[in-house]
């Protein structure tokens, strides 16, 4: 392929493109970060188990994916405006495949002409996220670099650009990329091994990642946080433990009542003083000044509204601490019934 040539795209029907993306008979460039262990959301093990049917496919219509797809035309336009490069969209279902490995393919977000044609990978993330921190470093995230190196390998293009947008931050991030021969050798070797594992239903090694741990639990049928299960084998032991728990709870309540009674008596004795000495020990009750603060409940707000609030706080140069949304297990006090 000449440097001035466009890649030879094959445009598939939408249903065929999706079927190929979910098939164990194909590997796409977007899977390369998972295969190399660079995708914290989906490990090589998890990806293998999904493609081979041991786990359900993750085809959920996620907000982040819809947002990223919606932002692509704007990012491409901004990139063209900033660089002067002519940008084209090959199409959502246009693919380029490896000349010797037809099962290895890529879908390019855009291609751009700057003397020679190049591959453009467009990414959108939100401020205050771990992904955003990765984009603020001197080099784009390694997972994204792996994806575009695979795209350059498959398309035969001699340059590419990683174009990132952090919502809530001004401007775009534009990182130029050229083919890295050693990196591409590693990618190709890893992809071929992964394809062998797909063909022979041999799962990759357990790597200890959260993604793999959750996948193993699901395969093994371990109870999830949404299930309440009965286990008759430990019923008697559990009853003994619950009895101890109720007794400790009663003692804890008695202690709290006693402590409050004692605090009230000392409060009366100390009055308006900062403290008082009783024999060999001192009880203090000083005035404590609490700095003014504002609490903004974010529960239930759409992510885009949370981003706006955070951006406004930053513009006011106020100190704040953001606690990101998380899922955790909570122990509820035992009660009879369900």
**pLDDT tens for each residue of 278-307:** 777 777 878 878 777 777 777 777 777 777
Domain limits, the chain: 10-220, 228-285
Q: Decide: helix, strand or coil at residue 141.
A: coil
Helix axes 142-155, 181-200, angle to 10 degrees: 90
Per-residue confidence (pLDDT) for residue 6, from 0 to 100: 87
Residue-by-residue DSSP string for 199-217? HHT-PPPP---HHHHHHHH
pLDDT tens for each residue of 16-42: 999 999 999 999 999 999 999 999 889
Nearest to 25 by CA among 197, 204, 189: 197
Per-residue confidence (pLDDT) for residue 127, from 0 to 100: 46
Helical residues (DSSP H) of the chain, grouped into ranges: 14-21, 32-35, 44-51, 63-83, 130-135, 142-155, 181-200, 210-220, 235-270, 303-315
pLDDT tens for each residue of 136-158: 555 778 899 999 999 999 999 99
Residues in the chain where the model's pLDDT stays below 50: 127-129, 338
CATH topology of domain 10-220: Lambda Exonuclease; Chain A (3.90.320)
Per-residue confidence (pLDDT) for residue 242, from 0 to 100: 64
CB atoms within 10 A of CB 112: 23
């Amino acid at each position: 392929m000449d440097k001035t040539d466009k890649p030879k795209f094959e445009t598939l029907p939408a249903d065929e493109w999706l079927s190929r993306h979910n098939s164990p008979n194909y590997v796409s460039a977007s899977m390369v970060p998972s295969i190399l262990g660079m995708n914290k959301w989906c490990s090589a093990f998890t990806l293998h188990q999904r493609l081979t049917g041991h786990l359900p496919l993750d085809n959920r219509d996620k907000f982040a994916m819809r947002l990223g797809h919606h932002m692509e035309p704007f990012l491409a336009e901004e990139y063209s405006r900033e660089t002067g490069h002519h940008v084209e969209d090959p199409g959502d279902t246009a693919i380029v495949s490896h000349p010797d490995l037809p099962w290895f393919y890529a879908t390019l977000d855009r291609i751009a002409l700057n003397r020679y044609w190049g591959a453009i990978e467009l990414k959108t993330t939100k401020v205050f996220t771990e992904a955003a921190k990765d984009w603020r470093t001197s080099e784009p995230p390694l997972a994204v670099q792996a994806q575009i190196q695979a795209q350059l390998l498959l398309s035969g293009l001699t340059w590419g650009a990683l174009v990132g947008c952090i919502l809530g931050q001004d401007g775009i991030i534009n990182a130029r990329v050229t083919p890295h021969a050693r990196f591409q050798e590693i990618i190709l070797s890893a992809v071929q091994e992964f394809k062998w594992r797909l063909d022979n239903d041999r799962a990759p090694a357990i790597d200890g990642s959260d993604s793999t741990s959750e996948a193993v639990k699901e395969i093994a049928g371990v109870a999830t946080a949404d299930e309440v299960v009965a286990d008759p084998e430990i019923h008697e032991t559990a009853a003994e433990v619950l009895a101890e728990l109720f007794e400790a709870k009663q003692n804890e309540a008695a202690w709290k009542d006693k402590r409050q009674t004692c605090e009230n008596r000392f409060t009366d004795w100390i009055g308006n003083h900062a403290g008082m000495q009783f024999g060999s020990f001192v009880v203090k009750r000083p005035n404590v000044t609490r700095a003014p603060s504002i609490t903004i409940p974010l529960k239930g707000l759409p992510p885009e509204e949370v981003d706006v609030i955070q951006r406004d706080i930053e513009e006011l140069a106020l100190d704040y601490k953001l606690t990101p949304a998380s899922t955790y297990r909570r122990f509820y006090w035992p009660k009879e019934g369900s």
